[in-house]
Structure 1
Amino acid sequence: MGGALTSLVAVAGTLLGSALTYFFQRRTAGRAEQFARDERLRQERVSAYSMFAEAVMEYRHEELQVWLHRHGELTHPLPEPFEVEQGRLRSLALRARYRVQLLAEEPRLIELANQSLDAVADIHRAKDATELMEHGERTEERVRDFVRAAAAEVR
């Protein structure tokens, strides 16, 4: 009977060891999976946020060029279909904003993205070169605010 009890304790110990091993491996795998998911999201956010800032600044540059051209301030001609390029860059900036909206955790980040695009849209309303520079600087400031907030979110 003593041998049977020893065998029973050995089997119970083996089963308990296997169950504990399974439990801890499952927890470790879950943590690793969560870490990988969080890291993918972080990388996607970094990509989307930097793409948005880049798109807004390119759109800003084009808006400034168009304003300067229309007001006779440029010495070199713009390519013929500059309105097409202006529209393409605006579309690119809007698509980048949509990605920000999908990925941002903080509502403030979406607000800053919207403010950045609004600031670019104000450029063509400038009445003179001084106002143009103010709008251009305001856009750059809004993008910097966006980048600061985005950097805080992805850290």
Structure 2
Amino acid sequence: MSEAFTVSIAVAGTLLGAVVTHLFQRRAVRAADKAARERDLRFQRIDAYSAYAAAVIAAANAQIKRWHYRDRSVAELESAREDSYSRRNGARQALYRVQLLASREDLTRLAEDAFDAARAIHHAGTAAEVDARSAQCRAAVGKFVRAAAEEIK
């Protein structure tokens, strides 16, 4: 009888050990999965935010070129206009990605402000106004980048 009792205790201990080990492993796997998801999201945000800043600056440069080409030939102006549309569309696509990934409303608002600042450049009336609007755009992109850096730390 005592031998059966000993075997029963050994089997119960083994089963209990297996259950406890399973619970701890499941918890460890969940924690590792969560950490991997957070790491992946962080890298996606870094990629999206830096690509967005670059796209807005490229769109702003295209708007500046478009403004300066307004007195050139129709073909040159049309080429500059098409480039500005293409760059603006690229920036808009990057903006959508920022909106999907950002966890804070103020960050998406800053991204939209930078986009709007780039769009406004070609509506300037004078070269000085182009320079001022360009500086406003760079400042808006800088604010966005600083806020994005805070989010991904």
TM-score, normalised to structure 1, is: 0.92
> Which AA in structure 1 matches 2:2?
G
Of 131, 134, 137, 1:133 maps to: 131
TM alignment of 1:91-110, pairs within 5 A: 91-110=89-108
Deviation at 1:84, TM superposition (A): 1.4
Q: Deviations over 1:2-44 (max 9, x none)?
A: 1111111111110111011101111111111111111111111
Deviation at 1:111, TM superposition (A): 0.1
Q: Deviations over 1:41-79 (max 9, x none)?
A: 11111111111100000000011111122257xxxx958
Distance 1:2 1:25 in 2: 34
Count of residue correspondences: 151
1:11 pairs with 2:11: yes
CA distance 1:79–1:70, change in 2 (3 Å)? closer
SS in 2 for 1:105: coil
Which runs of 5 or more residues in structure 1 are unaligned? none
Q: Which residue of 1 aligns with 2:56?
A: 56
Distance 2:94 2:38 in 1: 21
SS in 1 for 2:103: coil
Q: Percent identity?
A: 39
Q: CA RMSD in A?
A: 1.5
Q: Which residue of 2 aligns with 1:22?
A: 22
Give the helix-richer structure, 1 or 2. Answer: 2
TM-score, normalised to structure 2, is: 0.93
> Which AA in structure 2 matches 1:64?
I
Of 118, 121, 135, 2:119 maps to: 121
Q: Deviations over 1:80-123 (max 9, x none)?
A: 52221111101000000000111100001110011001111211
SS in 1 for 2:125: coil
Give runs of ≥4 in structure 1 deviating > 4 Å: 77-80
Distance 2:81 2:3 in 1: 91
> Which AA in structure 1 matches 2:88?
R
